[in-house]
A and B are shown apart, each in its own frame.
Chain A
Amino acid sequence: MSRRIVVITAGLSRPSSTRLLADRLADAVGAEVSARGESVEVEVIELRELAQDLATTMTAGGMPTGRVKRARDLVTSADGLIAVTPVFTASYSGLFKMFMDVLDTDAINGMPVVIAATAGTARHQLVLDHALRPLFTYLRAVVVPTGVFAATEDFGGGEGGGGLAGRVARAASELAALVVSESGSVAGFAASAEELVAPRRRRSGNGVETDVTDFETLLGELGQ
């Protein structure tokens, strides 16, 4: 069964070091998933290309543009995410947050995620754990233990470059393990299959949920 990894990258320039890190992570995850005997497809969402669509969605009462809709579908149906942002003013970039804000709160329930960030200096590295990790925890994603932070010096050779390669490999391995194991339980071995599936139930927010609660139940809950 082929797995689909979606990369969300919020770099603004071209070429961008954020995209560079995203690609290294994607390649490493691809290799790790393949090493486990599964094939993998990678799709990249360049948030820069969505900048105007995100602003339009925000200012049109939340009605998504076609491109925002497609991005939401991609993310919600992925088997794993790689999320990479530059550090701006002590946190993820505003563009990155705008994208997270247009996702449904049930869009990435139980989704395995690698978080990563780039910055000019290593002094920003805690951004992973004080900004990105809580954001994805709020969205009920499963963030792998290793976050990948790359300062400018890490893109060179020597100690910095070597350290980054190691962190990329470890994070990729952690994500691949979760992505490959993402196939649910064996039926009949759990108390209720529904209970197990429910926490992973995702929705893009693009369509209307058609499995409504029966009105008699709604009335009954109020004792009417």
Chain B
Amino acid sequence: MQLGLFSVGDVTMDPTTGRTPTEGERIEAMTRIALKAEEVGLDVFATGEHHNPPFVPSAPTTHLAFIAAQTERLILSTATTLITTTDPVRIAEDYAFLQHLAKGRVDLMMGRGNTGPVYPWFGKDIRQGIPLAVENYHLLRRLWREEVVDWEGKFRTPLHGFTSTPRPLDDTPPFVWHGSIRSTEIAEQAAYYGDGFFHNNIFWNIEHTAQMVNLYRRRFEHYGHGSADQAIVGLGGQAFMAATEAEAKRTFRPYFDNAPVYGHGPSMEQFTQATPLTVGTPEMVIERTLGFADAVGDYQRQLFLMDHAGLPIEMVLEQVEMLGTEVVPVLRKEFEARRPAHVPSDPPTHGSLVAQGPESTFHLVAPARAAAATS
């Protein structure tokens, strides 16, 4: 089980002080949070990608490379990489380069996660969101897996005799997750390639998340990658902790009430009941998180959102410390105890993928197509 953090990188005013961090301060805060994650024994740090204020993370590979240079074992990931508006050639090259710098400690999560106006800024059409995600990702797989690519598609200029450089580290592309909240086509896409499926989870009820995950699991089995319960699943979650529930609620309430996404809307109590948000003691967070596995089955990656809504950096670092020392060790143990032996504990890593060898299905552009051809 991999446990870690994912950040959206919002620059939000601290409602208790009225102070808004500068972009530079927020970027530095994200870096400190990632370093803290490694220090307290978390497995993953994932950064969002946005190209509009109030968000700062527009250049995830630059940021992740900087973090990679200061860490040794932390896995660096994204949440998400915009497969719709980013040229797949850029993604192929940027992340292969990052793989070399980070010695393989890299995976990434594809998403469409864009607001409408972002598409035209990059010359794309939001109504083509799903076809863009389908075509661009398929090209990305070819760029990473075929030395020389001849390609023509609908959305990008053709490629003739093109080689993306550098080649992926050890000729082994990074593992890819596909993130989707509601689009069944994306769950289908993840299942088709045998990639991971990540459900953001944090704004949704667990029943909805379970329906999406179960769809992916069923299709993963359909495409011949293993049994449904062996599919590679990741979930988001969010929490705010203190020694007592009352203290956690008192401290977090002004941040919740003014948060850009749900502030001025549902009450914190309504929201904690309807979604996985837990505001309380570390024990409560443990119990809630273990409950996710009852709903979606035994899964491989859990990421928490902890730096958002204007929480000051010192408070976030304390939260990460508590997560690393009080919550994660228990979760690791409990998740392992309940996991059946045939279900993978961890998602694929660079090491495990290299060990599988160049003939493994992971190295095929379209493993489901190959499976269909041989069956």
Contacts and interface: CB of A to CB of B under 8 A. Distances in A.
B154 interface: yes
B116 to A, nearest CB: 15
B135 interface: yes
A61 B187 CA distance: 21
Contacts of B212: 208
Contacts of B192: 215-216
Contact of A208 (B135, B211, B219, B368): B211
Interface in B136-174: 138, 152-154
Contact of B185 (A59, A61, A207, A213): A213
B16 interface: no
Interface core residue of A55, A216, A223 (most chain B CB under 10 Å): A216
A185 to B, nearest CB: 29
Interface string A48-90: 0000000110111101010000000000000000000000000
B182 A65 contact: no
A66 to B, nearest CB: 8
Contact of B153 (A59, A207, A224): A224
Contacts of A224: 134-135, 138, 153
B182 A208 contact: yes
Contact of A61 (B131, B152, B261, B368): B261
B184 A60 contact: no
A5 B369 CA distance: 48
Main secondary structure of the interface of A (DSSP, over half): loop
A223 B274 contact: no
A219 interface: yes
B134 A222 contact: yes
Contacts of A215: 134, 185, 188-189, 191-192, 223, 368
Contact of B215 (A55, A210, A214): A210
Contacts of A61: 203, 261-262
A212 B184 CA distance: 7
B262 A59 contact: yes
A65 B204 CA distance: 11
B271 interface: yes
A56 B265 contact: yes
A159 interface: no
A208 B208 CA distance: 7
B205 A63 contact: yes
B138 A63 contact: no
Contacts of B352: none
A46 B188 CA distance: 39
A60 B265 contact: yes
A59 to B, nearest CB: 3
A224 B192 CA distance: 14
A221 B369 contact: no
B356 to A, nearest CB: 23
Contacts of A214: 188
Chain B interface mostly: helix
Interface in A185-224: 207-210, 212-216, 218-219, 221-224
B226 interface: no
Nearest to B136: A222
Contacts of B265: 55-56, 58-60
B349 interface: no
Contacts of A207: 211
A212 B187 contact: yes
B264 interface: yes
Contact of A63 (B153, B189, B274): B274
Nearest to A211: B184
A61 B208 CA distance: 14
A219 B275 contact: no
Contact of A212 (B219, B264, B366): B219
B115 interface: no
Contacts of B204: 63
Interface in B175-226: 182, 184-185, 187-189, 191-192, 203-205, 208, 211-212, 215, 219, 223
A209 B205 contact: no
Interface string B245-287: 0000000000000000110111000110011000000000000
Contact of A223 (B153, B191, B208): B153
A63 B276 CA distance: 13
Contacts of A210: 184, 211, 215
A55 B270 CA distance: 12
A212 B185 CA distance: 7
A106 B17 CA distance: 46
B215 A60 contact: no
A128 to B, nearest CB: 33
A63 B275 contact: yes
27 contacts: A56-B270, A59-B262, A59-B264, A59-B266, A60-B262, A61-B261, A63-B204, A63-B205, A65-B270, A65-B274, A207-B211, A208-B182, A212-B185, A212-B215, A213-B185, A214-B188, A215-B185, A216-B192, A216-B368, A218-B130, A218-B131, A219-B138, A222-B135, A223-B152, A224-B134, A224-B135, A224-B153
Interface of A: 55-56, 58-61, 63, 65, 207-210, 212-216, 218-219, 221-224
